[in-house]
Chains A and B, each alone.
Chain A
Amino acid sequence: MSEQELKIDLKSICKNIIGIGKNYKDPSKEHVPTNEDPFIFAKPISSLITEGTSIKIPKGWGTIIHEVELGVVIGKTTKFVTEENAMDHVLGYVLALDMGKSLEFDKYPILLIKGFDTSCPISDFIAKSKIKDVDNVNLKLSVNGQVRHDGNTKDLIHKIPRLISYLSNFFTMDYGDLILTGTPVGISTVRHGDLIEASLEDLANIKFPVVEIQ
């Protein structure tokens, strides 16, 4: 069975979503490399939605923020993996939105502000072979037609093999698990009635309306 014939339904197989924060250089500024470890957090799988479901802002929050990300789907048991072998553990990709209440990590539990229901909209599965160069993938997001993110994975600070290797030192990942690799600059707020559209090259295109729970 070729990759293209596999019908991967991530909502059914995914048991772990790990998000990476602060992982893109700002191309308009000079990047000062640091020795810091990746900023990692988790989103519960209850946050996953696919097209047809709206992003739902919890009652009373008013606005939430958007982030557009390349999601890496793991293909096999992954533990203590070297950077050299890391890409062998990749099954494929998804285009993902990492929605959040805000960036106030010191004020609210991260599970709450990053993990609420519908905070992880994803595209259909993208077969690994469809992305020829994972370090040159364009990610774009617009709100009501206005472009907010227009970035490229070449600006990733911690690249994908490093992320997989680092995470695999602490967490056994498995078939279907998802790593959200960070967002390029352009975070802004959305509110009830907005429409988010995002694309990954010409490989995936997603649209999600935003509503606030009454």
Chain B
Amino acid sequence: MASQSIKVQSICRNIIAVGRNYTEHAKELGNPVPKGNPLVFGKPVSSIITEGEIQIPHGWKELHHEVELGVVVGKPGKFIKKENAMDYVLGYVLVLDMTARGIQEQLKKQGYPWLLAKGFDTSCPISDFIPKSAVSDVNNLNLKLTVNGDVKQNGNTKDMIFKLPDLLSYISSYFKLEYGDLILTGTPSGVSAVKHGDVIEASLDDIVKIKFPFRLKERNMFCKIQYKVASNIKFNKIFVVSLTKININF
């Protein structure tokens, strides 16, 4: 099978991400380092992009980058044992777990889940598929991210708190994994905000590189207006309207 023909976006039906899996990243956001079990959350597969622009809903202001090693599952697995875990790996992708940090903080305060902040369209840019054989030591991979050429994140998978076998074993004990599923394994320290016009570039060792611009689409994005009276107005051209549904001040 020619591995170049694997399109993760087509085969993936589940994305499970791990938070705070690098000590320094947990500390930089003032979060407790997980003890015991990995902190898991989901991103919808609709968030995956392989090219084009990262965009955020109009009205959102702060977007953070998080560069991660993504693991692509190669066969169905439930209650995977750590000793066999790597048998379930098909390969890898380099991923950006884009996060609307301001929204995430507000959601935490409200006691709401993170789905909005972590799962919006284009919040999961990924590289081409990397076959397992192309990676000689998955525990010694450099993850680097630059914004407009400035290095922001520069970490190594050796600093993961929970390694791949731990993650596969834990995750598969609650969620049956299938061929094509994607696990995001956490981000090293150095997360920062990106603004309109910034270009994010990231690399996984010298194996793969990705480049994604972040732009607010000002001109041709139509948003539903909240107010009843406005919904009766017929628009004969498309224009941007402030998304007022989210009552957040930041």
Within 8 A of A (CB), among B103-119: 111-116, 119
Q: Mark A169-199, 1 if CB is under 8 A from B, else 0.
A: 1111110000000000000000000000000
- From known contacts A16-B46, A111-B41, A171-B120, infer whether A80 and B16 are also in contact, taking CB-CB under 8 Å: no
Check: A67 CB closer than 8 A to any chain B CB: no
Give the interface size bracket for A toward B: 35 or more
- Chain B residues in 8 Å Cβ range of A203: none
Is the CB of A83 closer than 8 A to any CB of chain B? yes
Residue in B closest to A170 when the chains form the complex, CB atoms: B120
A35-75 interface code vs B (CB 8 A; 1 in, 0 out): 10101111011110000000000100000000000000000
Chain B proximity mask over A1-31: 1 for CB below 8 Å, otherwise 0: 0000000000000011010000000000000
Chain A residues whose C-beta falls within 8 Å of the C-beta of B176 in the assembled complex = 46, 117
CB under 8 Å from chain B, chain A span 70-101: 79-84
* Distance A46 CA – B178 CA, assembled complex (angstroms): 9
Q: Please determine whether A40 and B116 come into contact, CB atoms closer than 8 angstroms.
A: yes
Q: Does B40 contact A (CB under 8 A)?
A: yes
> CA–CA, A111 to B184, complex, Å?
14
The answer to whether the Cβ of A147 comes within 8 Å of any Cβ in the partner chain is no
Find the residue from A44, A117, A170 having the highest chain B CB count within 10 A: A170
SS of A interface (majority):
loop
Option from B57, B116, B174, B222 in Cβ contact (under 8 Å) with A112: B174
Question: Known: A35-B247, A80-B222. Is A45-B116 also a contact (CB below 8 A)?
Answer: no
Measured CB to CB, the closest approach of chain B to A152, in angstroms, equals 25
In the bound complex, how far is the Cα of B157 from the Cα of A13, in angstroms?
A: 35
CA distance A79 to B221 in the complex (A): 11
Query: Which listed segment binds B: A102-110, A121-129, A137-145?
Result: A102-110
Is A44's CB under 8 angstroms from B121's CB? no
Contact with A along B146-185 (1 / 0, CB 8 A): 0000000000000000000000000001111110000000
Say yes or no: A116 contacts B174, CB within 8 Å: yes
**Smallest CB separation, A172 vs chain B (Å):** 5
Contact B16 A169 (CB under 8 A): no
The number of residues on chain B lying at the interface, defined by a beta carbon within 8 Å of a beta carbon of chain A, is 37
* Docked CA distance A18–B120 (Å): 12
B43-69 CB contact bits vs A (8 Å, 1 = yes)?
011110000000001000000000000
- Tell yes or no: A208 within 8 A of B by CB: no
Contact A117 B224 (CB under 8 A): no
Closest to B15 in A: A44
B138 at the interface (CB under 8 A from A): no
Among B16, B47, B57, B246, the residue within 8 A (CB) of A37 is B246
Most chain A Cβ neighbours within 10 Å, of B16, B119, B177: B119
Task: Determine the main DSSP class of B at the interface with A.
Answer: loop
Chain B residues whose CB sits within 8 angstroms of the CB of A46 once the complex forms:
14, 175-178
Does the CB pair B57–A169 fall under 8 Å? yes
B207 interface residue, CB < 8 Å from A?
Answer: no
Q: For residue A115, which residues in chain B have a CB less than 8 angstroms away from its CB?
A: 42, 174-175
Point out the residues of chain B lying under 8 angstroms from A41, CB to CB.
113, 115
Bound CA span A46–B224, Å: 32
Pair B41/A16 contact, Cβ less than 8 Å: no
- Distance to closest chain A CB from B230 (angstroms): 11
Report the bound CA distance from A80 to B55 in whole Å: 14
A153 at the interface (CB under 8 A from B): no
Known contacts A37-B245, A117-B174, A171-B120; decide if A16 and B44 are in contact (CB<8 Å): yes
> In the bound complex, what is the Cα–Cα distance between A146 and B145 (angstroms)?
57
How far does the alpha carbon of A54 sit from the alpha carbon of B185 in the complex, in Å? 31
CA distance A45 to B46 in the complex (A): 13
Name the residue of chain A whose CB is nearest to the CB of B174. Answer: A116
**Bound state CA distance, A40 and B156, in angstroms?**
34
Instruction: Give A84's nearest chain B residue, CB to CB.
Output: B231
Q: CB within 8 Å of A: which of B52-100?
A: 57, 78
**Complexed CA–CA distance, A116 and B173 (Å):** 9
Instruction: Note all chain A residues with C-beta closer than 8 A to B39.
Output: 109
A sample of 17 cross-chain residue pairs with beta-carbon separation below 8 angstroms, ordered by A number, consists of: A16-B45, A39-B113, A46-B177, A47-B175, A80-B221, A80-B223, A82-B231, A83-B231, A84-B231, A105-B111, A109-B40, A109-B41, A111-B41, A112-B40, A112-B174, A170-B57, A170-B116
Q: Given contacts A41-B115, A165-B224, could you give 5 more A-B pairs where the C-beta distance is less than 8 Å?
A: A37-B247, A40-B115, A42-B44, A109-B41, A166-B245
